[in-house]
Chains A and B, each alone.
Chain A
Amino acid sequence: MSEELTDPTKGYLSTRILTVQLKRYDPEKDREPHWQEFKVEARPIDRVLDVLMKVKWDQDDTIGLRKSCGQGICGSDAMRINGQNNLACKMLVQNLKSDKLTVEPILGLPVIKDLIVDMKPFFDHYKSIMPFLVNTDPAPTTERLQTPAQRERFDEGTKCILCACCTTACPPFWGNREYVGPAAIVNAHRFIFDSRDQAASERLEILNDAEGVWRCRTVFNCTSACPRGIKVTQLISEVKRALITGVLDMPQEAEVLA
Chain B
Amino acid sequence: MSTPTYHRFETIIVGSGGAGLMAALHSSKEVGTAVVSKLYPMRSHTGAAAGGIAAALSNIEEDSWENHAYDTIKGGDFVVDQTPVEILCREAVECIYDLEHMGLPFDRTPDGRISQRRFGGHTRPVPGNPSKREPVMRSCHAADRTGHMILQTLYQQCIKQGVTFFDEYHMLDLIMVEGECRGIVAIEIATGRLHVFHAKSVLLATGGFGRMFKVSSNAFALTGDGPAIAYRHGIPVEDMEFYQFHPTGIYRLGVLLTEGCRGDGGIMFNGKGERFMETYAPNMKELASRDVCSRSIYQEVRAGRGVSGKDFVYLDIRPSTINKYKSSPIHRDGLEVDDHFIESRLSESLELSRTYLGIDPLKEPMPIQPTAHYAMGGTPTDFDTRVFRNAAGEVVPGLYAAGETACVSVHGANRLGTNSLVDLVVFGRRAGKAMAQYAKSHDFKEIPKDAAVPTKKMIEGALAKPRTEPWVRIRDELQTVMMDDCGVYRTAEGLANARQSVASLKKRYESTGIQDKGTVFNTGLLEYLELGCLIDLAAATVASAESRKESRGAHSREDFPDRDDVKHFNHTFATKDGDFDVKIDTRAVDVIYIEKDGQQVPKYPLEVRKY
Contact = CB atoms under 8 A, between A and B. Distances in A.
Interface of A: 1-2, 5-9, 11-12, 26-29, 45, 47, 56-58, 60-62, 64-76, 90, 92, 94, 112-114, 116, 119, 123, 127, 130-133, 135, 139, 141-148, 150-151, 154-155, 158-159, 161-162, 191, 194, 196-197, 229, 254, 256-257
Interface string B367-411: 100000000000000000000000000000000000000000000
Contacts of B145: 73, 158-159
A194 B112 contact: no
B312 A8 contact: yes
Interface string B463-493: 0000000101000000000000000000000
Contacts, number: 179
B21 to A, nearest CB: 13
A8 B43 contact: no
B148 to A, nearest CB: 6
Contacts of A254: 112
A139 B101 contact: yes
B220 A28 contact: no
14 contacts: A62-B524, A69-B220, A74-B45, A74-B48, A76-B43, A94-B358, A113-B521, A119-B40, A142-B97, A143-B96, A144-B101, A148-B108, A158-B142, A257-B112
Chain B interface, >50% SS class: loop
Given A1-B365, A28-B518, A148-B110, A8 B42 contact: no
Given A28-B519, A68-B39, A194-B103, A12 B112 contact: no
- Give me the 3 closest cross-chain CB pairs, A-B, nearest first: A133-B103, A145-B112, A61-B515
A15 B45 CA distance: 31
Given A92-B355, A132-B160, A158 B152 contact: yes
Given A114-B521, A150-B108, A161-B42, 20 more contacts: A1-B269, A47-B356, A61-B514, A68-B43, A68-B220, A69-B219, A69-B220, A72-B355, A76-B43, A94-B358, A113-B521, A130-B160, A132-B159, A132-B160, A139-B101, A142-B113, A143-B97, A143-B113, A151-B106, A158-B105
A119 B219 CA distance: 20
B221 interface: yes
B437 interface: no
Interface string B84-115: 00000000000011001111011111111110
B100 A73 contact: no
B111 A257 contact: yes
A222 B111 CA distance: 36
Contacts of A151: 105-108
A203 B211 CA distance: 42
A68 B521 contact: no
Name the residue among A45, A142, A145, A254 with the largest chain B CB count within 10 angstroms: A142
A143 B519 contact: no
Contacts of A7: 308
Nearest to A254: B112
Contact of A70 (B157, B159, B219): B219
A1 B273 contact: yes
B352 interface: yes
A158 B113 CA distance: 19
B156 A162 contact: no
B375 to A, nearest CB: 17
Contacts of A158: 105, 142, 145, 149, 152
Given A142-B97, A145-B112, A158-B145, A69 B47 contact: yes
A229 to B, nearest CB: 8
B318 to A, nearest CB: 11
Contacts of A92: 355-356, 358
Contacts of A114: 521
B47 A74 contact: yes
Contacts of A12: 252
Contacts of B514: 61
B7 interface: no
Interface string B143-171: 10100110011001101100000000000
A27 B251 CA distance: 40
Contacts of B355: 72, 90, 92
Contact of B111 (A1, A116, A132, A256): A256
Contacts of A28: 518-520
A133 B365 contact: no
Interface in B1-55: 39-40, 42-45, 47-48
Contacts of B221: 68
B61 interface: no
Nearest to A131: B156
B540 interface: no
A154 B104 CA distance: 12
Interface string B345-377: 000100110011111000011010000000000
B255 interface: yes
Nearest to A29: B518
A234 B149 CA distance: 22
B308 to A, nearest CB: 8
A207 to B, nearest CB: 17
Nearest to A127: B159
Nearest to B314: A1
B310 interface: yes
A113 B516 CA distance: 13
B105 A75 contact: no
A45 to B, nearest CB: 8
Contacts of A76: 39-40, 43
A147 B108 contact: yes
Contacts of B367: 8
A8 B105 contact: no
Nearest to A60: B515
A62 B517 CA distance: 8
Given A60-B515, A145-B112, A148-B110, A132 B103 contact: yes
A147 B112 contact: yes
Nearest to B269: A1
A76 B515 CA distance: 23
B521 A67 contact: no
Contact of A8 (B44, B96, B251): B251
Contacts of B365: 1, 5
Contacts of A196: 103
Contact of A5 (B364, B518, B520): B364
Nearest to B476: A57
Contacts of B44: 68, 74
B472 A58 contact: yes
